Structure 1
């Protein structure tokens, strides 16, 4: 996705795709690690990704496809574009990537990197949404932090 004139609608559309990718990744990991303690963790995280996607869809439905003010057009646009382009699944099928990971620690590390990338994106997204949506983005940010914590604890144990 080349952002050109970055619209909030495009950013929110990407946020929805991030959540869909997270859902697909966690569902695949739940299958891969079926019958282990990781299955429950990955199922829980998948369910949370569904809720996040619904929240972003609601916000997306309320957004007018307006471009960001000119003040964002240089450095900030490039920064957001780099975050989007570096996200783990850009141009890759999530299920194929996740299906190749069969080691529990590797799955946890991969999921942790995904969540960290997502968290960075959502922290920046907060700067772009209307004031009325900032609380919702804060809630999602806190939930993403919770995902990082859950995955980190499981990785350490």
Structure 2
């Protein structure tokens, strides 16, 4: 069994990468509306980092509750998903045009929503917190899709 805090550490890394990506994308924009959108997205990713840091601390505390434990199979799946889908996509974004990066950002937001949704059954009392992050990621996705159209 794996403690949920290990998987939340992956979520923390996703948000850190997202913050760096959106900050870089904002600085590359000449259009003020796009610049503001990416700055807002970066700030929200920073807020998500703080949420996950808090959750990691809570789930790292000694606790006999089975809600905080994830099977090796599920943990392996989620780690592989992040390592094969989310992180390589973020690495590619650093070497692309704004439009290409924007399209990949849409994919990362989708993948992040899936990853966080998979954490919900193990989140115990913190389900609502993770649901809030998922809701915000969905809003990011809608904002990015609007910018693409």
TM-score, normalising length: structure 1:
0.80
CA contact (8 A) 1:32 1:99 kept: no
Number of the residue aligned with 2:65: none
CA contact (8 A) 2:26 2:34 kept: yes
- Which of the numbers 11, 16, 25 marks the counterpart of 1:15? 11
Number of the residue aligned with 1:26: 22
Q: Structure 2 unaligned runs (5+)?
A: 63-67
**Pairwise CA RMSD:** 2.2
Deviations 1:85-133 (A, max 9, x none): 223325x9x5x6434222x321210111111111110001112212x20
Question: Alignment length, in residue pairs?
Answer: 144
Give 1:33 deviation, angstroms: 1.5
Give 1:152 deviation, angstroms: 0.7
Q: Structure 1 unaligned runs (5+)?
A: none
Give 1:54 deviation, angstroms: 0.5
Cα distance in structure 2, aligned partners of 1:65 and 1:121? 23
Say yes or no: does 1:108 pair with 2:108.
Answer: no
SS at match of 2:26: helix
Deviations 1:14-51 (A, max 9, x none): 11111000000001111121444321111010010011
CA contact (8 A) 2:12 2:52 kept: yes
Number of the residue aligned with 2:58: 62
TM-score, normalising length: structure 2:
0.84
Say yes or no: does 1:87 pair with 2:93.
Answer: no
Cα distance in structure 2, aligned partners of 1:97 and 1:38? 20
Cα distance in structure 2, aligned partners of 1:148 and 1:24? 17
The 4+ residue runs of structure 1 with deviation greater than 4 A are: none
Quick check: which one's helix share is greater? 2
Say yes or no: does 1:142 pair with 2:138.
Answer: no
